[in-house]
């Protein structure tokens, strides 16, 4: 803008200098112009003649400029109408996006169709129309729109992503793999694409359909090794040879020692092959990272068969985390199995202080009031924990079996051992025995 204004100022100065020069020249050398035409004679000073010509020139320029503006009126009006329609369309687009994220896909779809009348052919509208169709479970309608986007040079990634989502909803993992691989070829550095490609590959492994995605360059070595371990764990389910299975589980444990279930199976295979000391080292390494009762059960299976002194056998393992809930539960279960009230009572007390469950308080009260009674009427502490399950951190899907992937949301390594029972925010010392029984009955 500054440069163009400078040029205009310079051109104006040059014109003024030229005019001043012409006026000065005429003043120094005055004269007249004699015109004789059709019997008419005109004598005109040369200065007046030049001034007349200059006025005619400027009048022509002014009329020409005005004429050009008059010719542009339809174009200006068309631009004004187009801008007004686009503003209305963008306003409707914002409203449709708000409706879509507010969980009102039907309203969003209607607004987008209305928006298309104001801004037809807008590529962003196609995307949101497909999203609203997908929210309304119109998978076929969404697929049609996403396929149009897949052929668009600027929307092909969104098209591949949308088709992947459709295939994922239909649990068509083979097509899902093809679409996410297409998205990976368009954006190989995308963390979302890498994560989804890993998930779909593992799902295909579970179906015994082998794929080899080009993920090594797009993942860190650690993440790639964990991904390979997950695939190896799926393959272990189909291995019949114990040695191959043990080698695979060894690789998994070395990469992911905090994975409880593969470690447990690895330890049992080591015990089966008379490698008890190695099995115990493996269990201790995993228990240090992720305490879990399953590792304690594996420890007992690796101990001397027929040994009824469960608590003394478990002490080397649970002493790693003596105050952890899983360690306390293993202690309570061991004391229960050994019918050892002296050890059971303080352990139940610690369990209640750790977990604040009314059921533990009831067990503790019974054990304290009946220190020499038979344990037939006392519930095994492990049975109280039936409310525990593996739960996906992402979608909260629950499973009684650990897995490397949640089949509901395809999130990898998301299962955590979780207490799903409700807590009772009540001061126990201010409740009588009947009230406690009532609460237990309501929440059982």
Model confidence over 274-290: pLDDT tens digits?
Answer: 898 999 999 999 999 98
Q: What is the pTM of this model?
A: 0.66
Give 220-322's CATH code, choosing from 1.10.287, 1.25.40, 2.60.40, 1.10.1060.
1.25.40
Model confidence over 168-220: pLDDT tens digits?
Answer: 888 899 999 999 999 999 998 888 899 999 999 988 888 888 888 888 888 88
Where in the chain are the domains? Answer: 220-322, 327-444
Question: Does residue 434 have a pLDDT over 70?
Answer: no
Which residue has 């990898």 as its token pair? 412
Predicted confidence at residue 164, as pLDDT, reads 92
Report the distance separating Cα 398 and Cα 408, nearest Å. Answer: 10
* 32 in Cβ contact with 44 (< 8 Å): yes
Which residues in 387-415 are b (16+ Cβ under 10 Å) and which e? ebbbbbeeeebeeeebbbbbeeebbbbbb
Model confidence over 318-353: pLDDT tens digits?
Answer: 889 988 888 888 888 787 777 777 777 777 777 777
Consecutive H or E run containing 151: none
Residues 6+ apart with CB under 8 A from 191: none
């Amino acid at each position: 803008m500054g440069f163009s204004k400078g040029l205009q100022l310079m051109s104006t100065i040059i014109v003024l200098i030229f005019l001043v020069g012409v006026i000065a020249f005429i003043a120094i050398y005055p004269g007249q112009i004699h015109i004789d035409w059709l019997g008419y004679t005109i004598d005109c000073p040369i200065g007046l003649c030049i001034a007349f010509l200059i006025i005619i020139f400027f009048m022509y320029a002014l009329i020409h400029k005005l004429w050009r503006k008059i010719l542009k009126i339809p174009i200006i009006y068309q631009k004004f109408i187009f801008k007004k329609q686009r503003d209305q369309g963008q306003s409707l687009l914002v409203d449709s996006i708000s409706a879509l994220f507010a969980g009102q896909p039907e309203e969003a779809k209607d607004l987008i169709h209305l928006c298309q009348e104001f801004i037809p052919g807008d590529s962003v509208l196609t995307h949101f129309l497909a999203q609203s169709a997908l929210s309304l479970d119109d998978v076929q309608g969404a697929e049609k729109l996403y396929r149009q986007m897949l052929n668009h040079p600027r929307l092909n990634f969104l098209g591949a992503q949308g088709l992947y989502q459709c295939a994922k909803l239909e649990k068509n993992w083979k097509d899902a793999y093809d679409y996410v691989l297409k998205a990976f070829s368009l954006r190989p550095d995308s963390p979302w694409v890498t994560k989804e490609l890993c998930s779909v590959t593992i799902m295909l492994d579970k179906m015994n359909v082998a794929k080899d995605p080009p993920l090594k360059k797009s993942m860190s070595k650690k993440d790639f090794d964990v991904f390979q371990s997950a695939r190896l764990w799926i393959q272990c389910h189909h291995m019949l040879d114990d040695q191959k299975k043990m080698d695979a589980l060894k690789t998994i444990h070395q990469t992911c020692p905090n994975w409880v279930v593969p470690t447990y199976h690895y330890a049992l295979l080591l015990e089966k092959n008379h490698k008890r000391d190695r099995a115990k080292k493996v269990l201790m390494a995993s228990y240090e990272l992720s305490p879990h009762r399953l590792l304690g059960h594996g420890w007992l299976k690796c101990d001397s068969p027929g040994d009824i002194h469960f608590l003394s056998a478990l002490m080397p393992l649970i002493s790693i985390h003596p105050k952890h809930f899983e360690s306390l539960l293993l202690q309570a279960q061991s004391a229960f199995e050994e019918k050892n009230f002296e050890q059971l009572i303080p352990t139940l007390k610690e369990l209640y202080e750790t977990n604040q469950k009314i059921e533990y308080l009831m067990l503790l009260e019974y054990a304290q009031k009946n220190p020499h009674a038979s344990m037939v009427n006392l519930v095994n502490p492990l049975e109280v924990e039936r409310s525990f399950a593996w739960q996906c951190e992402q979608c909260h899907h629950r499973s009684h079996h650990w897995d490397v992937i949640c089949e509901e949301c395809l999130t990898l390594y998301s299962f955590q051992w979780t207490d799903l029972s409700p807590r009772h925010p009540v001061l126990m010392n201010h409740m009588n025995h009947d009230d406690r029984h009532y609460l237990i009955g309501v929440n059982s």
